[in-house]
C-alpha cells in the first residue's frame, strides 16, 4: 500500500444525539457516507477507468479547518462531513479514531498526519494552533513561498517521511501565486499491511480479465484457498454482487471487494446503489466460508483537483475570496482556499511488496469449493472496523493500467 496525500492552498484576498454507543454508530456511518459521496462525485468524471481516493486523508483537513472557519463557511464544512468537531463527545471520538489510525503493530503500519506550512511572519491565533497541535499528529512548519522551488522540496521531504520504502508522488506548487500564498495544509495517510493469510508468489499466474470494453486481458492473478467472510446481496431487481473481506494482520483493517455476480454487468449500473447503508448491511451479514480466491495484482495512482468535488458536497464559500470566513486561523478575514489537491495510490500484491514476474503453478483445477474470482471490474474499499474510517475506496477496471 502506498501513501495518500491531500493539500489545501490558502491565500490572501448536524448535531448527533444519543449515548456513546449510538454516537459511535452514527459517526462510523457518517464516515462511510462521506467516503461513498467522494467516490460517487468522482466516478463519472473518470470515464470508467481505474479510480482510488483516500477519504481519511481528505476528511481530516476538513475537520481541522472547522477550528478556524466561522459562519457559513464552517456550516458548509460541517454539513459536508455530517458532524462538527466542536462537540466534546464527537471531538473525543474523532481523536480516538485518529489514534487508532496511527498505529504500528505486527504486520500493519498506519500513519495519519498533517502539517501546516506557514509563510514566515504569518500570525496564527493561539486558539487555532492549540487545537491543531492535538489533531491527527499535526505540526506547524515555516517556509517562504517567494522561493517556490525550496518550498516544494521542503514539502516533498515532509511527505516522504511517511512513505516508508516507497517513493511518494511529488507535490507541485506551480499553480500557486507566490506573492499571495500564506499557508499550505498537507495531509497524508499511509497504510502498509500484510495479509492475515498471504498469497503465495508461486500460485500467481496469468489469467483472463474482461475489461469494460469486452477485451480479454491476461493479468497476473493471485490465488489462495482460505476461510473468508463472504456474502451475496441483491442491489437491484436484477443485479446481485458478491462481497469478500480480506483482513490484514491485526484484523482491524480489511480490504473489501465488491464484484458483480453476472459477467458483463458494468460497474456504472451498480455504483449508484453503493451507499453507507448498503455497506453496513454487507459488513454485518457476511458469513464465514471456505473459498478459492482469485484476485489480480493491481496498482492505481490518481491525481485530483477536488474543487469541483467539494462544490458538489456543498463546500463553496471556502474557495470564494469574498465569502470565505477563516478568521479563526489568524484573525484575518482575507484567507481563502485556492486549490484542493489530492494524490492517491494503492498497490495490492501477494504480501505487500513487489514481486518477480515469473510464475510456476497453474491452479485451474476442478473443485467443489466455492470461489471468488475477480476477473472483471470490481469495487474495493479499505476500512478500519473499530472507527469506520475508510482509508481508501475505488474501482479496478484494468489491472494492467
pLDDT for 168? 56
Nearest to 393 by CA among 60, 41, 10, 100: 41
**Predicted confidence band of residue 180 (pLDDT cuts 50, 70, 90):** low
Which residues face 257 on adjacent strands? Answer: 244, 380
Tens of pLDDT, residues 321-368 = 888 888 888 877 777 777 777 777 788 887 743 222 222 223 333 445
48 pLDDT higher than 60 = yes
Residue 175 is predicted with a pLDDT of 53
What confidence score (pLDDT) does residue 361 get? 28
C-alpha cell at 338: 485556492
* Residue of 284, 207, 208, 194 lying closest to 246 (CA atoms): 194
Q: According to the model, what pLDDT value does residue 104 have?
A: 56
32, 28, 57: which is closest to 138 by C-alpha? 57
113 compared with 277, residue with greater pLDDT: 277
Distance in angstroms (rounded) separating the CA atoms of residues 81 and 113: 19
* pLDDT grade for 165, boundaries at 50, 70 and 90: very low
pLDDT per residue as tens digits for the range 250-285: 767 889 999 998 888 888 888 888 888 999 899 899
Q: Region 226-243: what's the mean pLDDT?
A: 90
Return the closest-CA partner of residue 325 out of 9, 59, 10. Answer: 10
Give the least confident one: 186-190, 201-205, 273-277, 296-300.
186-190
Lowest mean per-residue pLDDT among 225-234, 260-269, 285-294:
260-269
Q: Looking at the chain, which residues constitute the CATH 2.30.39.10 domain(s)?
A: 201-297+353-396
Across 310-328, average pLDDT: 86
Q: What is the per-residue pLDDT for 160?
A: 77
By percentage, how much of the chain surpasses pLDDT 70? 82
Q: Which CATH architecture has domain 4-194+300-347?
A: 2-Layer Sandwich (3.30)
Q: What is the mean pLDDT of residues 150-169?
A: 71
pLDDT at 17 over 70: no
In 3D space, the residue among 290, 293, 273, 287 whose CA is nearest the CA of residue 231 turns out to be 287
Choice between 191 and 176, residue whose per-residue pLDDT is larger: 191
Residues 368-393 pLDDT 10s = 567 889 999 999 998 888 778 888 89
Higher model confidence: residue 165 or residue 95? 95
Q: Which pLDDT score is estimated for 131?
A: 82
CA distance linking residue 236 with residue 214, whole number of Å: 23
C-alpha 273: how far from its chain's center?
19
Average pLDDT of span 220-240:
90
Contact predicate 390/56, CB 8 Å:
yes
Average pLDDT, the chain: 79
- Least Cα distance to 389 among 279, 270, 230, 315 occurs for 279
Whether the CB-CB separation of 318 and 68 falls below 8 Å is answered with: no
Q: Average pLDDT for residues 243-248, to the nearest whole number?
A: 92
**pLDDT interval class at 119 (50, 70, 90):** confident
Stretch 204-223: mean pLDDT: 91
CB contact set of 114 (below 8 Å; sequence gap of 6+): 60, 61, 64, 132, 135, 136, 137, 138, 139, 185, 186, 187, 188
User: What fold characterizes domain 201-297+353-396?
Assistant: Alpha-1-antitrypsin; domain 1 (2.30.39)
Instruction: With cut-offs at 50, 70 and 90, classify the pLDDT of residue 107.
Output: low
Residue 76 has pLDDT above 90, yes or no: yes
Q: Using the predicted structure, report yes or no on whether residue 196 has a pLDDT greater than 80.
A: yes
Task: Of 141-155, 190-204, 331-345, give the lowest mean pLDDT range.
Answer: 331-345
Percent of the chain having pLDDT more than 90?
A: 20
pLDDT of residue 366: 40
Q: What is the pLDDT of residue 290?
A: 93
**3-state SS string for the chain:** CCCEEEEEEEECCCCCCCCHHHHHHHHHHHHHHHHHHHHHHHHCCCCCCCEEECHHHHHHHHHHHHCCCCHHHHHHHHHHHCCCCCCHHHHHHHHHHHHHCCCEECCEEEEEEEEEEEECCCCCCHHHHHHHCCCCCCEEEEECCCCHHHHHHHHHHHHHCCCCCCCCCCCCCCCCCCCCEEEEEEEEEEEEECECCCCCHHHCEEEEEECCCCCEEEEEEEEEEEEEEEEEEECCCCCEEEEEEEEECCCCEEEEEEEECCCCCCHHHHHHHCCHHHHHHHHHHCEEEEEEEEEECEEEEEEEECHHHHHHCCCCHHHCCCCCCCHHHHCCCCCEEEEEEEEEEEEECCCCCCCCCCCCCCCCCCCCCCEEECCCCEEEEEEECCCCCEEEEEEECCCCC
Select the more confidently predicted residue: 121 or 74. Answer: 74
Residue 134 has phi, psi (to 5 degrees) of -105, 5
Which of 145-154, 163-172, 349-358 is the least confident region?
349-358
Mean pLDDT, residues 193-213? 88
Q: Which residue's C-alpha cell is 500493519?
A: 108
Give the whole-angstrom CA distance, residue 393 versus residue 337: 25
The predicted structure's pLDDT at residue 220: 92
The phi-psi region of residue 281 (left if phi > 0; otherwise alpha if psi is between -120 and 50; otherwise beta) is: alpha
Any idea which residue has 463527545 for its cell? 89
Instruction: Kindly report the backbone phi and psi dihedral angles of residue 266, in degrees, each rounded to the nearest multiple of 5, phi listed first.
Output: -70, 145
Q: Who's near 75: CB < 8 A, 6+ residues apart?
A: none
Q: Which residues pair with 275 in a beta bridge?
A: none
Q: Are 252 and 385 in contact (CB under 8 A)?
A: yes
Amino acid at each position: 500500500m502506498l501513501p495518500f496525500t491531500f493539500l489545501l492552498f490558502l491565500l490572501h484576498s448536524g448535531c448527533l444525539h444519543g449515548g456513546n454507543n449510538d454516537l459511535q454508530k452514527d459517526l462510523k456511518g457518517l464516515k462511510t457516507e462521506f467516503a461513498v459521496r467522494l467516490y460517487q462525485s468522482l466516478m463519472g468524471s473518470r470515464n470508467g477507468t481505474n479510480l482510488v481516493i483516500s477519504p481519511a486523508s481528505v476528511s481530516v483537513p476538513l475537520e481541522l479547518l472547522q477550528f478556524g472557519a466561522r459562519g457559513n463557511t464552517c456550516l458548509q464544512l460541517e454539513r459536508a462531513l455530517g458532524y462538527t468537531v466542536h462537540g466534546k463527545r464527537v471531538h473525543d471520538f474523532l481523536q480516538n479514531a485518529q489514534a487508532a489510525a496511527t498505529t504500528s503493530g505486527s504486520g500493519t503500519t498506519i500513519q495519519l498526519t498533517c502539517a501546516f506550512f506557514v509563510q514566515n511572519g504569518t500570525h496564527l491565533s493561539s486558539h487555532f494552533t492549540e487545537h491543531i497541535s492535538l489533531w491527527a499528529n499535526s505540526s506547524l512548519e515555516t517556509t517562504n513561498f517567494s522561493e517556490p522551488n525550496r518550498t516544494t522540496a521542503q514539502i516533498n521531504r515532509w511527505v516522504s517521511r511517511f512513505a516508508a520504502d516507497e517513493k511518494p508522488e511529488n507535490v507541485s506548487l506551480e499553480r500557486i501565486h507566490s506573492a499571495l500564498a500564506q499557508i499550505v495544509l498537507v495531509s497524508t495517510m499511509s497504510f502498509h499491511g500484510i495479509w492475515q493469510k498471504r498469497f503465495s508468489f508461486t500460485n500467481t499466474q496469468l489469467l483472463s480479465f474482461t475489461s469494460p470494453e469486452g477485451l480479454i486481458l491476461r493479468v497476473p492473478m493471485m490465488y489462495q484457498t482460505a476461510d473468508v467472510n463472504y456474502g451475496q446481496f441483491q442491489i437491484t431487481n436484477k443485479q446481485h454482487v458478491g462481497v469478500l473481506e480480506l483482513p490484514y494482520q491485526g484484523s482491524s483493517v480489511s480490504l473489501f471487494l465488491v464484484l458483480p455476480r453476472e459477467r458483463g454487468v458494468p460497474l456504472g449500473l451498480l455504483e449508484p446503489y453503493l451507499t453507507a447503508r448498503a455497506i453496513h448491511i454487507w459488513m454485518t451479514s457476511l458469513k464465514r466460508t471456505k473459498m478459492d480466491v482469485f484476485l489480480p495484482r493491481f496498482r492505481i495512482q490518481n491525481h485530483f483537483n477536488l474543487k469541483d468535488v467539494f462544490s458538489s458536497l456543498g463546500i463553496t464559500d471556502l474557495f470564494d475570496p469574498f465569502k470565505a470566513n477563516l478568521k479563526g486561523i489568524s484573525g484575518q478575514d482575507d484567507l481563502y482556499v485556492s486549490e484542493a489537491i489530492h494524490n492517491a495510490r494503492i498497490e495490492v500484491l501477494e504480501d505487500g511488496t513487489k514481486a518477480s514476474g515469473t510464475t510456476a503453478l497453474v491452479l485451474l483445477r476442478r473443485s467443489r469449493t466455492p470461489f471468488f474470482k475477480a476477473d472483471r471490474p470490481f469495487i474495493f474499499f479499505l476500512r478500519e472496523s473499530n472507527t469506520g474510517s475508510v482509508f481508501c475506496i475505488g474501482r479496478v477496471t484494468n489491472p494492467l493500467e
